[in-house]
Amino acid sequence: MLDGKSAIVTGSTSGIGLGIARAFAAAGADVMLNGFGQPGEIEATRAMLQRQYGVKVLHSGADMSRPEQIRAMAAEAAEAFGHVDIVVNNAGIQHVAPVDQFPDEQWDRIVAINLSSAFHLIKAVVPQMRARRFGRIVNIASAHGLTASPFKSAYVAAKHGMVGLTKTVAIELAEFGITANTICPGYVKTPLVEAQIADQAKAHGISPEAVVRDVMLAHQARKEFVRVDELAALAVFLASDAAASMTATALAMDGGWTQH
């Protein structure tokens, strides 16, 4: 489905990002991984994907809060692959606290990584996409890009911003064969969410089990976490030729959470 295409997936050394990168590789795309972790584990993952799917897989440790490193990653991918067809802006962090106790440095860091990094990567790759008259931009927001929850002022603000950024980019670039869409997942059992469970338990003064049952999945009609492979399949579709007429959308995959 993606043979001959190349992609950058940010925040892809674990969780949702890794699931999307794996699905892209399985569909025939060369992939630039990005993220932090143990170097040996990252190299093992990179080599495994390359060997298993017969595509070129690279890794960049670019810090997504540093615009110059984002630009360098985009340039590296373009040189290695010949072009960048797809970008998935998935990198994200979280901090939970009441708004009047929210640390300034955490606000700045969350907005930089969850929102500004997407702007910088899109800006870096759009000129070549426009020249080739093809591009797929898939931004991973959250159900919190469509609604809000307490104690998450920076995260909710950044994810709402991601949805708005996507719509603006989409209408600017539609005539050049470039699409931009947002995926808005509900709760997915990833390392980030595992950390949120502990933070929410502390903030609410309840057990981790109660956080899952009474906070996270209380409004999710299916009462189950969204699976990474479900999100990855949607990302592959949005990156494909079959989705050429889909742009400026914010697609909720949340088990009905935002409609409760």
pLDDT at 9: 98
Please give the Cα distance from 69 to 226 (Å, whole number): 32
DSSP character string of 182-241:
EEEE--B-SHHHHHHHHHHHHHHTS-HHHIIIIIISTT-TT-SPBPHHHHHHHHHHHHSG
pLDDT at 195: 78
Give the active site residue among 134, 151, 155, 187: 155
The b-or-e profile of 81-98 (16+ CB within 10 A means b, else e) is: bebbbbbbbbbbbbbbbe
Residues contacting residue 45 through CB under 8 Å, at least 6 positions apart: 13, 18, 33
Q: Is 1 among the domain residues?
A: no
Determine the angle formed by the axes of helices 228-239 and 15-26, rounding to 10 degrees: 50
pLDDT in tens, the chain (260 residues): 999 999 999 999 999 999 999 999 999 999 999 999 999 999 999 999 999 999 999 999 999 999 999 999 999 999 999 999 999 999 999 998 999 999 999 999 999 999 999 999 999 999 999 999 999 999 999 999 999 999 999 999 999 999 999 999 999 999 999 999 999 999 898 876 787 788 778 888 999 888 888 888 887 888 888 999 999 999 999 999 999 999 999 999 999 988 87
The b-or-e profile of 170-206 (16+ CB within 10 A means b, else e) is: beebeeeebbbbbbbbbbbbbeebeebbebbbebeee
pLDDT at 226: 92
Q: Amino acid letter at 220?
A: Q
> Looking at the DSSP assignment, which residues form a beta bridge with residue 107?
none
- Is 53 catalytic? The answer is no
Structural domain count of the chain: 1
Whether 138 contacts 239, CB under 8 Å: yes
Q: Is 132 among the domain residues?
A: yes
pLDDT at 238: 98
Q: Is 34 among the domain residues?
A: yes
Q: Is 39 among the domain residues?
A: yes
Whether 145 contacts 118, CB under 8 Å: no
Provide the CATH number for the domain around residue 66.
Answer: 3.40.50.720
pTM above 0.75, yes or no: yes
76 burial type by CB count under 10 A (0-12 exposed, 13-18 middle, 19+ buried)? middle
Domain of residue 131 covers: 6-259
Per DSSP, the three-state class of 62 is: coil
Q: Is 205 among the domain residues?
A: yes
Please give the Cα distance from 113 to 62 (Å, whole number): 11
Please give the Cα distance from 192 to 18 (Å, whole number): 13
Q: Is 101 among the domain residues?
A: yes
